[in-house]
Amino acid sequence: MRNLSFPLDLKYAKSNNENYSELLRLRVSALIVSVALLAGGIALFLLGSGLLDIVGIALIVISLGTASLWFILPRKVGSIESQYVSAPLVGAVLAAKRKHGITVLGLVNVSRDPDANPRYALVTRTATAITGHPSVVGAKIPCAAVLADRTSKPQGDTWDTASLMPIAWGTKDKNVIVRATGEIQNYEWDLLKRSLPRLEEVRVTRNQLVLLATDELPHVMRGE
């Protein structure tokens, strides 16, 4: 697995890394829902009796479980530092400019077994902005690919999802971006640019991920 080691600018990352922003929004939403459930539960418990008491207590218990997500989610997802350290370095390109942001298309090995033959997939993600790169279709954007499953009981030999996290969300150092871009092979960049017409095909899938058949890959990537 190809990784990139670089000094993370944590303050900058917290301001620019949209994965971090999305996680923060989820945590805040969990707290808001928890407070609403707690208020409703207390009101039912104080105003009612019998069945209403039971429902009120149930809402209070649920609210406590929802509030616990504030602590659970960061542990499950991992810190920004750990994600950049453990996630593989992959290539992505700016595939489309939209009214409220951009869409990038990436090439990721989603095989669960790092010793098995690679299973390459095209993946997409939308973003508001990625500083440090030209805002033109086809621009190279090296990323870390955060691999995950949607369920606690995964099936198959590939990961369910691959979230693209641009290296430029973790550092302002242009030398790091240049080094990351250079570590990705030219045939990977070429494959991505040839795959730009498939953007919508990938984007509309449930996990925004489409596995590539062996014959769609350059010979050097086929593991033959």
> What pLDDT shows up at residue 80?
78
- CB burial of residue 55 (10 Å; 0-12, 13-18, 19+): middle
Q: Mind listing the pLDDT tens digit for each residue in 27-56?
A: 677 788 888 888 888 888 787 677 777 788
* Calpha distance 201→207 (Å, rounded): 12
User: Residue 81 phi/psi, 5° resolution?
Assistant: -60, -50
Between the CA of residue 192 and those of 42, 54, 83, 196, 218, what are the distances in Å? 55, 57, 23, 6, 11
Whether 60 has a pLDDT exceeding 90, the answer reads no
For residue range 153-200, list pLDDT tens digits in order: 667 789 998 999 999 999 999 999 999 999 999 999 999 999 999 999
SS3 content of the chain, % helix, strand, coil (to 5): 45, 20, 35
pTM for the model stands at 0.78
Tokens of 207: 């996990």
